């Protein structure tokens, strides 16, 4: 791991410039020096020079009085800035099981640019990557997984990746004007403004910018789609296994936010009576204390907070500025007005495998998952968050959909698939379906995918992971072509990666995954648009076949029936009987309490560590 070297090289004049063979670029804040990388790979039939600029500051360090404030424009520098190494990763939560190998700092607002050409007239399309990590972890490069070299070189696009504030320093909110929250999202906004102002100097086209992200990163992309502040900053969006409907879909309970904020303050030595004094005190707390003292068990120490009810401790909030209302309301009420933005959205076939392997760790080394009825009853609703969780009628409806009824009477019935399907549909597949329908109905061009190919080398090191959460990432970034020591592709998978990279970069070039803008193009029928009716989608697999109506019955349950059922039972003042509550198993507070504090903490930890940034390193050590 190289050390961060984001330092100013005070060079008196270009005559004395000692980087004659390295690329120079002038941006709005000063001169940059990067490095040239030779990219060659026979499988991709590509041999070219790539220009790479790492650790470019796009805003002032958000430290001291700038903590818990919107990012401020980067001041001009003199001399030449050394952009040949990654910037610091943002401060993130400590975890005994998972760790980021990159150095961390509160001074972390840096981005990276991978460009095939520095000619101003090139006008290459631009793809801006927003990493995931439950708004809590990871970085723009994540130990090489998000290396944009292959994608830029093979796809003939410019790739930009960025850090944004995470965890408490990125999403702490008091529920009022003293700390409104969403600083990490505002960082992304300023980074996109930087792209608009400067990407032409790297050979890029500011009128063809695509934002793409995975999991919480895809949720960030969705928030950018829904925010009125991002108009004109991008033109296409790719959402991989995530939407703004993830978890609570932006908190909007100011009383809860205030209570939570004061509880955090007590843990960090700031026991102030009002939010203004609390925030001022927290600005003086060393950044490392947020990482060290707000560990995975801190939720259990905050009065009035039940760990099993909090999906992600620090996440986007409805601030009336960046996020004007709950995403669900914005979608249902037509709050999306970027009809000129083309959208590609999708999920993987086995999104729920990761959660099951954490909740039942004995399965991690198994050749295949086997879940008994008793184990299923223990875990099947642990990671579901919503008003239906204590509604017996809704729980019965969910059971009706997923329980393997053909073998339900047998003592050895395997409930693994029931859990995997349910969890994946609830958290990823059906929110994507809801968002795709809303965006398509608003007039946007929408394309949907569903990855069904099970990688030969799973990110998780689990034999049965199949097409699990984040398994598409090595295919999108072409890690095989970057020659990383892990995530190798089997020979038959190389063409899958090349096809996915082509679809993604075609989307960035033309707004259509079929068309590259060159004379030799695919048929527009190769990947049909998603629309209602029709509901067409592309399967990412060896065959790359088209299909339609992905999980339409299951998504009708989650997106339509369950909300109506909950509303009806609430309107009728429905009161569950004791038998009903017994039937809801883990959803009753007594059952959850019976599991013990450690399991409740684990439930929250699972949610906060479900992204690839938390699992690949241990699996490949």
Positions marked active-site: 215, 351, 469
Instruction: Report the relative pairing of strands 236-240 and 342-348 from DSSP bridges.
Output: parallel
Token pair listed for 366: 């198994």
Angle at 141 between CA 322 and CA 161, to 5 degrees: 45
For residue 552, the SS3 value is: helix
CA distance 181 to 168: 9
**Which residues are bridge partners to 25 per DSSP?**
32
Radius of gyration, CA atoms only, the chain: 24
> CA distances (Å), 483 to each of 149, 282, 459, 477, 489, in order?
11, 44, 16, 12, 10
For residue 162, the SS3 value is: strand
**Which residues are bridge partners to 51 per DSSP?**
36, 115
Which H or E run contains 209? Answer: strand 204-214
ω into residue 533 within 30 of 0, thus cis?
Answer: yes
Query: For the chain, how many residues are written?
Result: 621
Residues 506/518, Cβ–Cβ less than 8 Å: no
Residues 226/244, Cβ–Cβ less than 8 Å: yes
Angle at 560 between CA 555 and CA 565, to 5 degrees: 125
Angle at 129 between CA 70 and CA 4, to 5 degrees: 75
Instruction: Give the DSSP letter of residue 490.
Output: P
Which H or E run contains 450? Answer: strand 446-451
Token pair listed for 247: 């978890």
**Which residues are bridge partners to 127 per DSSP?**
159, 210
Select from 161, 223, 189 the least CA-distant residue to 72: 189
CA distance 386 to 395: 11
Angle at 195 between CA 194 and CA 201, to 5 degrees: 105
- Please, what's the b/e burial string for 328-352 (b: 16 or more CB within 10 A of its CB; e: otherwise)? bebbeeebbebeebbbbbbbbbbbb
> CA distances (Å), 557 to each of 530, 551, 590, in order?
20, 10, 27
CA distance 483 to 487: 9
Residues 55/5, Cβ–Cβ less than 8 Å: yes
Token pair listed for 226: 């829904």
Instruction: Report the relative pairing of strands 35-41 and 46-57 from DSSP bridges.
Output: antiparallel
Which H or E run contains 54? Answer: strand 46-57
Token pair listed for 326: 């709950």
Alpha-carbon torsion angle 421, 558, 250, 567, nearest 10: -150
């Amino acid at each position: 791991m190289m050390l961060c070297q984001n330092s100013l090289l005070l060079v008196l004049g270009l005559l004395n410039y000692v980087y004659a063979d390295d690329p120079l670029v002038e941006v709005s804040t000063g001169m940059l020096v990067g490095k040239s990388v030779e990219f060659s790979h026979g499988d991709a039939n590509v041999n070219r020079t790539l220009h790479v600029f790492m650790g470019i500051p796009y805003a002032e360090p958000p430290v001291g009085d700038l903590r818990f404030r919107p990012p401020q424009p980067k001041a001009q520098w003199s001399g030449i800035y050394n952009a040949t190494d990654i910037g610091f990763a943002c401060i993130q939560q400590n975890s005994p099981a998972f760790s980021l190998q990159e150095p961390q700092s509160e001074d972390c607002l840096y981005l990276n640019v991978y460009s095939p050409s520095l000619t101003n007239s090139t006008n290459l399309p631009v793809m801006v990557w927003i990493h995931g990590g439950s708004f809590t972890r990871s970085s723009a490069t994540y130990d090489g997984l998000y290396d944009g070299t292959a994608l830029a070189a093979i796809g003939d696009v410019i790739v930009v990746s960025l850090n944004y504030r995470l965890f408490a320093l990125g999403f702490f909110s008091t529920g009022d004007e003293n700390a409104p929250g969403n600083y990490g999202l505002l960082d992304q906004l300023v980074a996109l403004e930087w792209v608009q102002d400067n990407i032409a100097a790297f050979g890029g086209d500011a009128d063809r910018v695509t934002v793409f992200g995975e999991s919480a990163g895809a949720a960030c992309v969705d928030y950018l789609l829904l925010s009125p502040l991002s108009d004109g900053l991008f033109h296409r969006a790719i959402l991989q296994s995530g939407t703004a409907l993830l978890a609570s879909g932006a908190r909007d309970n100011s009383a809860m936010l205030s209570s939570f904020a004061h509880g955090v303050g007590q843990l960090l030595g700031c026991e102030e009576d009002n939010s203004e004094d609390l925030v001022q005190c927290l600005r003086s707390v060393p950044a490392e204390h947020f990482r060290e003292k707000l560990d995975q068990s801190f939720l259990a120490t905050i009065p009035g907070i039940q760990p099993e009810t909090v999906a992600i401790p620090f996440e986007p909030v409805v601030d009336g500025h960046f996020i004007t209302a709950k995403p669900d309301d914005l979608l249902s009420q037509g709050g999306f007005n970027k009809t000129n933005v083309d959208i590609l959205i999708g999920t993987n076939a086995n999104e729920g495998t990761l959660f099951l392997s954490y909740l039942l760790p004995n399965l991690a080394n198994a050749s295949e998952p086997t879940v008994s009825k008793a184990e299923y009853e223990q875990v099947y609703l642990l990671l579901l968050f919503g008003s239906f969780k204590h509604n017996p009628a809704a729980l019965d409806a969910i059971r009706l959909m997923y329980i393997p009824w053909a073998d339900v009477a047998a003592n050895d019935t395997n409930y693994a698939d029931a859990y995997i399907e349910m969890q994946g549909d609830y958290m990823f597949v059906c929110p994507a379906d809801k968002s795709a329908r809303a965006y398509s109905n608003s007039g946007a061009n929408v394309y949907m995918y569903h990855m069904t190919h099970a990688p030969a080398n799973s990110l998780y090191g689990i034999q049965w992971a199949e097409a699990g959460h984040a398994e598409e990432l090595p295919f999108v970034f072409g890690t095989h072509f970057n020659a990383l020591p892990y995530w190798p592709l089997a020979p038959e998978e190389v063409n899958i990666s090349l096809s996915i990279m082509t679809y993604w970069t075609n989307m960035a070039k033309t707004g259509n995954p079929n068309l590259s803008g060159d004379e030799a193009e695919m048929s527009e029928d190769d990947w049909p648009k998603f629309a209602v009716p029709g509901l067409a989608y592309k399967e990412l697999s060896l065959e790359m076949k088209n299909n339609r109506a992905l999980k339409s019955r299951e998504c009708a349950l989650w997106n339509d029936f369950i909300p109506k059922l909950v509303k009806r039972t609430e309107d009728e003042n429905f009161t569950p009987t004791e038998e009903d509550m017994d039937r809801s198993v883990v959803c009753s507070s007594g059952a959850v309490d019976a599991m013990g504090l450690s399991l409740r903490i684990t439930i929250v930890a699972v949610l906060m560590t479900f992204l690839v940034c938390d699992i690949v390193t241990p699996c490949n050590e």
